[in-house]
Amino acid sequence: MSFIADLHIHSRYSRAVSRDMVPESLYRWAQLKGITVVGTGDFTHPAWFTELQEKLEPAEPGLYRLKPELAAPVDAEIPAACQAEVRFMLTSEISSIYKRHERTRKVHNLIFAPSFSAVANMTDKLARIGNLHSDGRPILGLDSEELLRIMLERAPEALFVPAHAWTPHFSVFGANSGFDSLEECFGDLSPHIQVIETGLSSDPPMNWRLSQLDGITLISNSDAHSPSKLGREANVLNGDLSFDGIKAAFTSGEPALFWGTIEFFPEEGKYHFDGHRNCQVRMSPEEARAHDDACPECGKPVTRGVMHRVEILADQPAGHRAQRALPYRSLVPLVELISEVRGAGVNTKGVTEVYKQLLASLGNEFEILMNVPIAAIEENGGMLLALAIQRMREGNVTIAPGYDGEYGTVRLLSQEDRQSHASQTSLF
């Protein structure tokens, strides 16, 4: 059986996260998106942890489901075409800010845990180190290596994954406060790092250029802060639907267990290119090098993007395929496609209506983006949308890359496309 997992999300107890990030919404949106296993996020937060214990019940080993009495009212509102089982995995992200080798480091790490008791074992210790109450993604003055050690001591069966490994400010390879290698960050414990999360701004081929990542499995998650962002990136698994099954798929990188990942177009990520947001300056790595990494507007150093950072650490040519290279598919969220077709904002009522209607007739979002025949899309969503999805599936997209915290913008349709189709058909 093949299923999709998105394991890095945040609850309403994290900063700058939608109030709607509650188990019921996760359950609802996982079905709309086509996700089978969704991370709970934020298991270190005491209130969220209690809420999870109240609302979830054990399902397959190491996984949980929403209690039936809570699931039923949600199910009633979900189009039959999307209805599916949803499982929860206990996951969390920790922000470590600390000094190592005389420099300040800021690294986000994910922990996936198989049970409430494993979580409690870890949080007992973490609560003594820092404050877990104020933020679902707590800031700890704890070295990443120490955090890993605590996990190995207290919950050895859990899985440790450096999060969005390339973002400039808060990641293991980040240009501003990260490291040049996993060894530098995790010391003697680095063999325990077998999996990293690539983040929105990088895709597998960029990571394949580092020989040090040859034996590492690359995974992808949405890091969603609101329910509709679920599944922006995700993992497609073939193995056992259980904690150990998923962990084995990740740690082995075995194609029989792990098909591969669903990706953003990396250019769309917030930190793909170099640049300076305040001055609206976006630069490719070559352009930045030509300017000595300084912003031509204000003269300050630009924020170095993921592309540039990868080039610095890369020791293999572009196009190199790693031993563990797995397939991947680059997708654009459906609402963005509808929004482009209609020329209206992603949050407008019209776009939302079309989105709902498509899901009701064609099934969940991943189905529509990846599998539903183009003809069926055209029938239900019009020719322009069908054309956009076809182009997306072919990788035929135009993107203004993201930089310094600004998302990139994707375009699939040209002015000509609109003109030639406008005469033939109305949208619906």
Partner 1 sequence: MNVETNRWLEGLNDRQREAVLAGDGPVLVVAGPGTGKTKTLTVRLAYLLAERHVAPEALLAVTFTTRAAREMRERLARLIGSQADRAFLGTFHSFCFQLLKAEGHRLDLPPDFGVADRRDQITIMQRALRRLGQPDTRTATQRKLHEVIAFRHRQATIEPPVDDAGLAEIAEAYQRQLRQCGLLDFDELLFLLVRLLEGYADVRESLRQRYAHVLVDEYQDVDPVQQQLLRFLAGDRNRLWAVGDCDQAIYAFRGAESEHLLRFEQYFPNGRVITLEQSYRFTTQIAAVASQVIRRNASRRPLTLNAANASGVPVHVVSFPDERAEAAWIVGQIEESVGGTSHYQQYKGKVTDTVSQREQSFRDVAVLSRLHALTKPLQEALKNSGIPHRVVGEARFFDKSIVKDVLAYLRVIHNPHDDSSFARVLNCPSRGIGNQTQAALEAKAEQRGLSLYAVLGQSSVLSSSQMKAVKLLMTLMEDVQRNKAEQSLAQFIAHVADVTGLRQWRIDHDPRHEDDLLLLRSIAAKYDGVPTGTALEQFLEEASLAVEVDDYDASIDAVSLMTIHAAKGLEFPEVMLCGVEEGNLPREKADLEEERRLFYVGLTRAKERVWLLNCRNRFLFGERRDREPSRFLQEFDDSLKETTIMPDRPRRSKPEPEPGQLSLLG
Residues in region 359-378 near partner 1 by CB under 8 A: none
Indicate whether 297 belongs to the interface with Zn ion (CB under 5 A): yes
CA angle 402, 405, 406 (to 5 degrees): 45
Contact of residue 297 among partner 1, Zn ion, none (CB under 5-8 Å per partner type): Zn ion
Residue showing tokens 């080993």: 61
Q: Of the listed pieces 73-81, 120-128, 255-263, 393-401, which binds partner 1 according to CB under 8 A?
A: 120-128
Closest distance between Zn ion and the C-beta of residue 172, in Å?
11
Contact of residue 349 among Zn ion, partner 1, none (CB under 5-8 Å per partner type): none
In this structure, the number of other CB atoms found within 10 A of the CB of residue 50 comes to 10
Closest distance between Zn ion and the C-beta of residue 164, in Å?
6
- In angstroms, rounded to a whole number, what is the distance separating the alpha carbons of residues 317 and 310? 11
- In angstroms, rounded to a whole number, what is the distance separating the alpha carbons of residues 84 and 81? 9
Longest dimension (CA), the chain: 67
Closest distance between Zn ion and the C-beta of residue 283, in Å?
11
Number of residues that bind partner 1 (CB under 8 A): 42
The continuous run of DSSP H or E covering 163 comes out as none
Contact of residue 117 among partner 1, Zn ion, none (CB under 5-8 Å per partner type): none
Question: Tokens in use for 205?
Answer: 């081929």
Indicate whether 309 belongs to the interface with Zn ion (CB under 5 A): no
- From candidates 24, 79, 85, 130, binder to partner 1 by CB under 8 A: 130
Residue showing tokens 């039936």: 68
Is residue 107 within 8 Å of 178, Cβ to Cβ? Answer: yes
Residues in region 15-34 near partner 1 by CB under 8 A: 15-16
Residues 6+ apart with CB under 8 A from 197: 8, 110, 161, 162, 163, 164, 165, 218, 219, 220, 221
**Residue among 65 and 105 whose Cβ is closer to partner 1:** 105
Site string for partner 1, 253-282 (x = CB under 8 A): -----------------------x-x----
- In angstroms, rounded to a whole number, what is the distance separating the alpha carbons of residues 21 and 57? 19
- What three-state secondary structure class fits 338? helix
What phi and psi values does residue 251 have, to the nearest 5 degrees? Answer: -70, -30
Residues 6+ apart with CB under 8 A from 40: 9, 11, 23, 26, 48, 52, 56, 88, 89, 90, 91, 92
Q: Of the listed pieces 47-55, 72-80, 287-295, 362-370, which binds Zn ion according to CB under 5 A?
A: 287-295
- In angstroms, rounded to a whole number, what is the distance separating the alpha carbons of residues 54 and 143? 32
Indicate whether 352 belongs to the interface with partner 1 (CB under 8 A): no
**Residue among 141 and 373 whose Cβ is closer to partner 1:** 141
**Residue among 141 and 215 whose Cβ is closer to partner 1:** 141
Indicate whether 99 belongs to the interface with partner 1 (CB under 8 A): yes
Is residue 4 within 8 Å of 231, Cβ to Cβ? Answer: yes
Contact of residue 356 among partner 1, Zn ion, none (CB under 5-8 Å per partner type): none
Indicate whether 146 belongs to the interface with partner 1 (CB under 8 A): yes
- From candidates 81, 139, 314, 399, binder to partner 1 by CB under 8 A: 139
Question: Tokens in use for 278?
Answer: 């305040």
Indicate whether 409 belongs to the interface with partner 1 (CB under 8 A): no
- From candidates 72, 298, 312, 318, binder to Zn ion by CB under 5 A: 298
- From candidates 295, 307, 372, 413, binder to Zn ion by CB under 5 A: 295
**Residue among 40 and 123 whose Cβ is closer to partner 1:** 123
Indicate whether 279 belongs to the interface with Zn ion (CB under 5 A): yes
Closest CA to 46 of 120, 128, 107, 108: 120
- From candidates 48, 98, 112, 366, binder to partner 1 by CB under 8 A: 98
Residues in region 72-111 near Zn ion by CB under 5 A: 108
- In angstroms, rounded to a whole number, what is the distance separating the alpha carbons of residues 93 and 86? 21
Contact residues for partner 1 (CB under 8 A)?
A: 15-16, 95, 97-99, 102-106, 124-125, 127-131, 133-135, 137-143, 146, 167, 169-170, 176-177, 276, 278, 300-303, 404-405
